[in-house]
Copies of this chain bind each other. A is one copy, B any other.
Amino acid sequence: MARTTGSHSDITGPRVRAAALRLFAAGGYAAVSMRAIAAEVGVQAGALYNYTPDKQSLLFDLMQGHMTDLLAETPSDPTRPAMQQLQDFVAFHIRFHADRPDEVFIAYMELRNLTPENFAVIEGLRREYEDRLETILRTGVENGYFAVADPKIVTLAIIAMLTGVNTWYRAGGRLSLDEVVAQYWDMVRKAVTV
């Protein structure tokens, strides 16, 4: 992928972010050098600084983009029964995360490599996502469909369980994503039902 010369501003920027995403997910933010990212893109290290002010911004932009995409696509229809909303949430979470293994890995593993200011932003987005699920659980409790002693705990437990799928699921493996979604929905449904 060695390049020669010329102008590529409109395509190089996305390629820098894609290379950083792949390399950060594979080796970890601290272990990946700007030179390695540049080599993956096919430019020299100095050229990266036309697309990002520094390495930290590269990480933050990837994580922020991931979290805002997550929030934008989360299903949210308060008119549906709580049980349906919960099923929608479970299916969405598994499918969204299965589609973006690198982003998910970074979002969980590289939090400590964010500056305190950037960490606060990402943490806020994460809490916003958790609140979506917690609201569904509280609604179901109020309406008598769910038996959940502590909605906050159950929220965190469900999200941890669902996100765990990413540690083992691979497309083309023993189970289809449909089967995975069905299995996890079965567990979640039983765990929260009266």
User: A residues within 8 Å of B by Cβ?
Assistant: 26-28, 30-31, 109, 112-113, 149-150, 153-154, 156-161, 163-164, 167-168, 175, 180, 183-184, 186-188, 190-193
Q: Are B113 and A31 in contact (CB under 8 A)?
A: yes
Copy number in this complex? 2
B contact residues around A187 at 8 Å (CB)? 154, 157, 191
B contact residues around A153 at 8 Å (CB)? 175, 180, 183-184
How far apart are the CA atoms of A167 and B192 in the complex, in Å?
A: 21
Closest Cβ of chain B: how far from A107's Cβ, in Å?
13
Q: List 25 A-B contacts (CB under 8 A).
A: A26-B112, A28-B28, A28-B112, A28-B113, A30-B30, A30-B31, A149-B183, A153-B180, A153-B183, A153-B184, A154-B187, A157-B161, A157-B187, A159-B164, A160-B161, A160-B163, A160-B164, A160-B167, A161-B161, A161-B164, A190-B190, A190-B191, A190-B192, A190-B193, A191-B191
Given A26-B112, A153-B183, A188-B191, 15 more A-B residue pairs with CB atoms under 8 Å apart are A27-B112, A28-B28, A28-B113, A149-B183, A150-B175, A154-B183, A154-B187, A157-B164, A157-B187, A160-B163, A161-B161, A161-B164, A164-B164, A190-B190, A190-B193
B contact residues around A159 at 8 Å (CB)? 164
Closest Cβ of chain B: how far from A112's Cβ, in Å?
6
B contact residues around A168 at 8 Å (CB)? 156
Closest to A105 in B: B112
How far apart are the CA atoms of A92 and B156 in the complex, in Å?
A: 19
Closest to A149 in B: B183
How far apart are the CA atoms of A158 and B163 in the complex, in Å?
A: 12
How far apart are the CA atoms of A174 and B168 in the complex, in Å?
A: 33
B contact residues around A183 at 8 Å (CB)? 149-150, 153-154
Closest Cβ of chain B: how far from A108's Cβ, in Å?
9
